[in-house]
Structure 1
Amino acid sequence: MADRDAADLSQLTAALLDAARKAGATEADAVAVAGESLSVDVRGGALEHADRAAAVEIGLRVLIGGRQACVSASDRSARTIAEMAERAVAMAREAPVDDMIGLADPAELSPQRDALGLDLDDGLAAPQPEALLDLALRAEAAALAVDGVRMAESAGASAMHRRLWMAGTNGFSGGYGRSSHGISAVAITGEGTGMERDWASESRVWQDDLPAPEEIGRRAGERAVARRGARKPPTGAFPILYDERVAATLIAHLLSAVNGTAVARGASWLLGELGNPVLPAGMDLIEDPRLPRHPSSRPFDGEGLPTARRAVVSDGVLAGWTLDLATGRKLGMRSTASAVRGTSAPPSPGVSNMILTAGSASPAELIRDMGRGLVVTSMLGASINPTTGDYSRGAAGFWVENGQLAYPVNECTIAGNLRDMLMRMTPANDLPDWRTHRVPSLLVEGMTVAGQ
């Protein structure tokens, strides 16, 4: 984060805290976020849409006797800041009492107040629109060059820089910047009712880490062409291989179930399972918030606590919940430094970079061994019961016969129970890099497929 930007945001949070004290708040914390982004989309070899945005948002949370309220604004004037504080205090006085809310003890706060060593901002100047246009056009051209692609539905490129500063009346004050760069493409094959589409997209914190746009466009085109002639699969109980593009969604359901908010409310299908197996033996699910150049890395959480590597699941056994200060207090546990927050809401538990243990077999070897079943490459819709773990989702992908991909499939539903599914899971060795959730392809035995 540039020194001037950091100073401006720091001054804004200091002004918010000063206004909160004057308005009568017992405790308060404040967030200031500045960001600028540029994105372009192309179609048919020409620019279709370009969007540039730049804004600063400020947020204030006040606490008075176990009551809290949050307000936010995009105006940074002294008058607005004073009005925000007065409004927040008035709202807090009418809020219900919750004895579990409150700022962190000063002794708990992170000693690191910046992102030094995490490389979260590549420091590049904002790109010119022409540079992003070139990337998008190259991705589109590569998709169209794949034999069988009828058209590119869209291709795009984007760049974003975001700076954050957070401060509290408990003495915390710190912030950092973050960059993000992305390229995407969507390709279409076939016509009318036989039309199929697929996509490819990559994003990185550092521009230098992005794949070439030609690779992304080619991947989108090849994926679309592979879906020609898709039809419904048979109905029955079959093994399902979640391709690494969608495998992280399965683990996301596990992460939702261990979130402290769901656990404290008694609305988790993993309630009472702490210390029990939830994944096959030998599998770990690790959160590492301090991976350099990774999209969700952070030196401290949304309440100023120091982040650290931790195991959510260790050797298949559920090792801990995901907690912020309030949910930790409700459950009689310490925060896992997992608070996330924006400008308009109080902190809540959330995760950063997640890594699931990879297996030893390749996806092709798992497909060979599954014999007959389904490879899922895309999903839509979801019906998940948060208290029982019953699971049902629309899916598309490829049918497997005799250990080989036989034909593409669409318009099917896959169903099971998450508790059982996760215990019957075999990971492949294709652990992706640079993702927020690094999850390899996952083979799940005995699921229900509803097709023809």
Structure 2
Amino acid sequence: MTASDQKTLLDRVAALVEMAERAGADAADAVVMRSRSSSVSVRLGKVEGTESAESDDMSLRVFIGNRVAAVSATVGADLAALAERAVAMARVSPEDPYQGLADPARLARDVADLDLVDDTEIPADRLKEDALAMEEAALAVPGVTNSSGAAASAGSGGLVLATSHGFVGQYAATRFSRSAVIAGEGTAMERDYDFSSRLHFADLEETEKIGRTAGERAVKRLNARKVKTGVFPVVYDPRVARGIAGHLAAAINGASVARKTSFLRDRMGKAVAAPGVTVTDDPVKKRGQASRPFDGEGVAGERLVPVENGVLTAWLLSTAVARELGLETNGRGVRASSSVNPSATNFAIEPGEAAPEALIAGIKNGFYVTELFGQGVNLVTGEYSRGASGFWIKNGEIAYPVSEVTIASNLKDMFLRMTPANDLDRNFGTAAPTLLIEGMTVAGE
């Protein structure tokens, strides 16, 4: 986003807020969310698709007492008409005692530079070259017989926000990604993938490494077996462990707590994970995949430790949700068109002390999970049941590939039996190291 673009959008949202007040709003905020992206996908040496997309979505929230209304439009819309329409809607909306702008004292005063933007221009030809190089590297792995394709993309997004409390700010972030999915042929076909996504182009994994890793992972899964049903320790590869972290983030989301749809809603101040397990959420991490200098309400965020030494210490909160719970926002509000809801930022299950190999070495019989299927997670009760594939652990070593099994437990018990390894990769908005979880049901034959 150029300086000229920034000024134009900042002026536009500020003018929209002013017009809303003139139309009768007690308070208002306006936001523009920008998105730019381009991508190229290939399969078996040929381009399968090229895409480019741009959007500038503007929304206005107005408050009249405890009544709120929101409208959305393109940035070229008639601002006066948009403001009048929003105010008219608010006048007839039901009252909501928790709605309103964030406390002015919580607003970000200085917008920190988090190094989220890389101005490198990546032409479509380079995206094509990268995608082809990944696939070529994957197909060169002995045992690989087919490809589901490879893709490379570049894009950017940003937010421009103004409130009637006097806040005006903007930020942007770029994103570059590469991915490859490799498959075999016939009834014994196996597939796997690798990818890299970064804010800065130079930080991406090399194309040859991504392709080679995808191919090697697919080949390792050949000749998978089934296993007998039983209760075993389960080790989650970091790729799937991030899903466990995501379930925890959802369970401590203040909106779920307020609506009584979280299985952790009554656990504040109590042990929800094994001793030694710590979880962090950091919106102001430099070059963080989910970093932002302020949230969707203009509130400055700080590093949060929602789980410390296994004990639940905080919810993820936006302004309205915090008020409903009798608390104060901690800057986790995310703008989704015309609404604001709490969400995690750079959320991580912090690493433990043992290497993954050490965790595996202590297992006589167990399951190392590399892929999960299905949506069998109930965040109201914590019940957990997923289809899975991976590798069997025998006498402390990876023995052979396994498929067509189901793993089941309850997230309440899983968190309390969880041991993190020391291999955390923070290059994800939701991150986790290898996780060992004792006593899960593995259903096979």
Scaled by the length of structure 2, what TM-score is found? Answer: 0.97
Match of 2:106 in 1: 108
1:294 equivalenced with 2:292 (yes/no): no
1:403 equivalenced with 2:396 (yes/no): yes
Match of 1:89 in 2: 87
Tell me, yes or no, if the aligned pair for 2:245 and 2:431 is still in contact at 8 Å: no
Tell me, yes or no, if the aligned pair for 2:224 and 2:401 is still in contact at 8 Å: yes
Match of 1:21 in 2: 21
Helix, strand or coil for the counterpart of 1:21? Answer: helix
Tell me, yes or no, if the aligned pair for 2:245 and 2:348 is still in contact at 8 Å: no
Tell me, yes or no, if the aligned pair for 1:9 and 1:33 is still in contact at 8 Å: no
Helix, strand or coil for the counterpart of 2:187? Answer: helix
Q: CA deviation at 1:383?
A: 2.1
Give runs of ≥4 in structure 1 deviating > 3 Å: none
Tell me, yes or no, if the aligned pair for 2:10 and 2:160 is still in contact at 8 Å: yes
Amino acid at match of 1:167: A
Q: How does 1:318-329 map to 2 (within 5 A)?
A: 318-329=312-323
Seen in structure 2, the aligned counterparts of structure 1 residues 395 and 93 have a Cα distance that, compared at 3 Å, is farther
Q: Show structure 2 runs of 5+ residues with no match.
A: none
Structure 1 residues 177-210: Cα deviation after superposition (integer angstroms, max 9, x where no partner): 1100000000012x22211110101100000111
Tell me, yes or no, if the aligned pair for 2:288 and 2:346 is still in contact at 8 Å: yes
Helix, strand or coil for the counterpart of 1:394? Answer: strand
Structure 1 residues 117-150: Cα deviation after superposition (integer angstroms, max 9, x where no partner): x10001223x210011111111111111101111
Equivalent residue in structure 2 for 1:350, among 343, 350, 360:
343
Partners of 1:165 and 1:115 in 2: how far apart? 15
Partners of 2:388 and 2:338 in 1: how far apart? 34
Q: CA deviation at 1:76?
A: 1.2
Partners of 2:352 and 2:106 in 1: how far apart? 38
Q: CA deviation at 1:345?
A: 2.8
Partners of 2:390 and 2:85 in 1: how far apart? 52
Q: How does 1:344-423 map to 2 (within 5 A)?
A: 344-423=337-416
Match of 1:309 in 2: 303
Match of 1:143 in 2: 138
Amino acid at match of 1:444: I
Q: How does 1:1-400 map to 2 (within 5 A)?
A: 1-77=1-77, 79=78, 81-112=79-110, 114-116=111-113, 118-125=114-121, 127-189=122-184, 191-342=185-336, 344-400=337-393
Seen in structure 2, the aligned counterparts of structure 1 residues 110 and 75 have a Cα distance that, compared at 3 Å, is closer
Partners of 2:158 and 2:378 in 1: how far apart? 37
Helix, strand or coil for the counterpart of 1:231? Answer: coil
Helix, strand or coil for the counterpart of 1:193? Answer: coil
Partners of 2:382 and 2:227 in 1: how far apart? 25
Amino acid at match of 1:202: S
Tell me, yes or no, if the aligned pair for 2:277 and 2:419 is still in contact at 8 Å: no
Amino acid at match of 1:354: F
Amino acid at match of 1:410: S
Q: CA deviation at 1:419?
A: 0.8
Seen in structure 2, the aligned counterparts of structure 1 residues 406 and 263 have a Cα distance that, compared at 3 Å, is same
Amino acid at match of 1:279: A
Task: Calculate the aligned-residue CA RMSD, in Å.
Answer: 1.4
Q: CA deviation at 1:263?
A: 0.8
Match of 1:426 in 2: 419
Tell me, yes or no, if the aligned pair for 1:101 and 1:326 is still in contact at 8 Å: yes
Q: What is the number of residues matched between the two proteins?
A: 445
Amino acid at match of 2:376: S
Q: CA deviation at 1:408?
A: 1.4
Partners of 2:53 and 2:246 in 1: how far apart? 30
Q: Show structure 1 runs of 5+ residues with no match.
A: none
Helix, strand or coil for the counterpart of 1:133? Answer: helix
Helix, strand or coil for the counterpart of 1:433? Answer: coil
Partners of 1:158 and 1:217 in 2: how far apart? 15
Partners of 2:398 and 2:295 in 1: how far apart? 44
Q: CA deviation at 1:75?
A: 4.9
